[in-house]
Amino acid sequence: MPSSRTCLAAALLLLCGGAVQAQPEQTGWGSGYQMGTSYAGVSSGGVRLTFYCGDAAAAKANAAIKAGPYLMASLPRRDAADGLRSLEILIDGKATRIPVTAQSAGNMVELTWEPDRRFGVDAMRPVVQGLRRARTLSLRAGVEARALPTAGAAEALAEDPLGCR
């Protein structure tokens, strides 16, 4: 007969395993609208690339909402460092360098692009168009490139992620 300690350990493993299975990491492309902000993006293996577009009227009513389009990428700290100034998006092997600001987020680094005179919305449009048709996609912010899936990109980016209401 198993000891009570063994039974408790087995019960905890079953409970923890069920919780992990119940909430798997979301992977692939998706889009939606939440709290005044539309989004379209992809995640896989902890790496994330997401376009956001904050509604101007919602941003006026709620200071937590950022108005206008912006892009956020999240990479493991070993692939990206604080203080980085650019992110390369490689679409079918062709790299586009995007100016970003980097911010530490635990074991990840968040890279954010906001339109400016150097690289505005018009400069980002070809990137979005390329993502819709991409066969391969990678992000590089340093030496190593991280691959992301492309299946579903055309559907997720069907509505202009740079055109806010």
Residue 150 tokens, joined: 């492309």
Q: Which of these ranges, 30-34, 58-62, 74-78, 109-113, has the smallest mean pLDDT?
A: 74-78
Query: Could you give phi then psi for residue 160, rounded to 5 degrees?
Result: -60, 110
Residue 90 tokens, joined: 């490689």
- Average pLDDT (135-146) is 91
- Average pLDDT (16-26) is 39
Give the model's pLDDT for residue 165. 63
Give the model's pLDDT for residue 105. 86
Give 139's pLDDT tier (boundaries 50, 70, 90): very high
Give 19's pLDDT tier (boundaries 50, 70, 90): very low
Q: Is the pLDDT of residue 113 over 80?
A: yes
Residue with tokens 């590089």: 140
CB atoms within 10 A of CB 17: 10
Q: State the pTM of this model.
A: 0.81
Give 142's pLDDT tier (boundaries 50, 70, 90): confident
Give the model's pLDDT for residue 77. 80
Give 164's pLDDT tier (boundaries 50, 70, 90): confident
For residue 137, which of 126, 125, 153 has the smallest C-alpha distance? 153
Give the separation between CA 48 and CA 66, rounded to whole angstroms: 19
Give 82's pLDDT tier (boundaries 50, 70, 90): low
**Residue pair 87/142 in contact by the 8 Å Cβ criterion:** no
**Residue pair 152/30 in contact by the 8 Å Cβ criterion:** yes
Which of residues 32 and 3 earns the better pLDDT score?
Answer: 32
Which of residues 19 and 129 earns the better pLDDT score?
Answer: 129
Domain extent listing, the chain:
25-156
Give the model's pLDDT for residue 89. 98
